[in-house]
A and B are shown apart, each in its own frame.
Chain A
């Protein structure tokens, strides 16, 4: 069974630009969560989607948004990039986010210059 895939793996942008990251979950997994990981803050929850609906949201500004498609694939978008948005963005999928573990993709390394 294929794991969680994320594209692109690396991205370099400049301040003020916007970026879209993509995540394909494990087949059959309908819950997709996004996290931001930085050395100082650790893993911070961004949002979770289940059956195309945002079910939960972390404490991030509105510049961070996401969506999920009918095939469970998900995208997250960051608008008006800031230097502090440089991080590893991780996507994780699970069967139903009901007490089962999450399986992570390799992440997208975003660098904002």
Chain B
């Protein structure tokens, strides 16, 4: 059974203080790993897709990396507007549905 865990559950940073979020996964053949950002009361916003170990994707202050067992979302010099819940999801080769992790709630203080 495909599983996704995320750590930490919550993270509080000062503006400009870089950090990383972790997503660990178990899947029978990875078709894709996905990162989303979700603001309160809204639907998740798609950020990145990673397909194979060693792959990296960047968008503004965010950088996602992938290994065979986990993915990291690095946040460089965060701003208060980066505050949100970050969700990780995987899709395996033998299942059609996406499995989501519980998310990391990020707060960036000015």
Docked complex: B48-90 residues within 8 A CB-CB of A: 48-49, 51, 87, 89
Known: A42-B100, A42-B103. A99 touches B42 (CB 8 A): no
Q: Is A70's beta carbon under 8 Å from chain B? A: no
Give the contacting residue for A58; candidates B41, B97, B101, B102; CB below 8 A: B97
Report yes or no: B42 in contact with A107, Cβ–Cβ below 8 A: yes
Interface size class of A (residues with CB under 8 A): 20 to 34
| B98 x A33 contact (CB < 8 A) | yes
Total A-B contacts with CB atoms under 8 angstroms apart: 59
Most buried by B among A4, A33, A42, A98: A42
A42-B103, A48-B97, A99-B91 known; A104-B31 Cβ under 8 A: no
Q: Is the CB of A106 within 8 A of B42?
A: yes
A32 to B23, CA, bound (A): 25
Q: Is the CB of B49 within 8 A of A42?
A: no
B31 touches A98 (CB 8 A): yes
With the chains together, A15 CA to B3 CA distance in Å?
Answer: 33
Q: Distance (Å) between the CB of B36 and the closest chain A CB?
A: 8
The answer to whether A102 and B98 have CB atoms under 8 Å apart is: yes
Report the bound CA distance from A48 to B96 in whole Å: 8
A56 to chain B, nearest CB (A): 4
A64 close to chain B: CB less than 8 A: no
B16 contacts which chain A residues (CB < 8 A)?
none
Complex CA distance for A54 and B60, rounded to whole angstroms: 37
Residue A90 at the chain B interface, CB threshold 8 Å? yes
Interface residues of B (CB under 8 A from A): 31-32, 34, 36, 41-46, 48-49, 51, 87, 89, 91, 95-103
